[in-house]
Amino acid sequence: MDTCHDSLAPLFHNNRAWAAGMRAADPDFFTRLVGQQNPRWLWIGCSDSRVPANQIIGLDPGEVFVHRNVANLVQPGDLNCMSMLQFAVEVLRVEHVIVCGHYDCGGVRAALEDSAHGLVDYWIWSIREMRTRHAAGLAGLAGRQLRDTLCELNIIEQVERLAKSKILREAWERDWPVQVHGLVYRLADGLIQDLGVSLDRSVTQVERVRAAEQACLARGQAQSE
């Protein structure tokens, strides 16, 4: 018995059912899909299996370019992320770069714990550093409220990192009107929220980022009362 094939059998069944359903609804769907990749949106999200980008925003394959990693981080030294960003901006010419984190993020939760978690600790070091940097604003928050607020701050920081990247700065110098947005997804109701930190070359980026951070911290404190 081919146990490997048996374990994958449900996936093959689901795949064939999905492909047949797509062809029944739109006979030309796959023909069009082969011939183009022209997404307007780049989605940088968390690897969490509960946060599927296309389904959350109701877009078909080919309509959104997706990059995912633990805790939706944009690390300048991450060649995978930076190569993806360059391809999306310079080749696909996306118009919107979205960083979408989610509440109850395992990476954020791990960053709040004192225990060791292995290799992921090297990946989430910036979240721990961010918690220290915002210690005064986070004072008094605990449990879910602390996790949710740090999750929002993490998204805002990734938006700022993108805006500072050489790839985005050069795109703006070429007058390409790409925008960067920070969104958060709530698992409990399936809804995304805008964190008010959309950036492009026309805005005063530092002021908008600091304002979004202060609004985030104020919201966390208000909800903890």
* Catalytic residue numbers, as ranges: 46, 48, 50, 102, 105
> Which tokens in the block code for residue 131?
């918690």
CA distance 33 to 29: 6
CA distance 85 to 69: 14
Residue appearing with tokens 């980026």: 205
Query: 222: which residues sit within 8 A by CB, 6+ positions away?
Result: none
Tally of CB atoms within 10 A around 110: 20
Q: Which residues of 139-168 are buried (b: 16+ CB within 10 A; e: fewer)?
A: eebeeebbbbbbbbbbbbbbbbbbbebebb
DSSP per residue, 15-28? HHHHHHHHHHH-TT
Residue 114 CA to its chain's centroid (Å): 25
Exposed / middle / buried, residue 215 (Cβ in 10 Å: 0-12, 13-18, 19+): middle
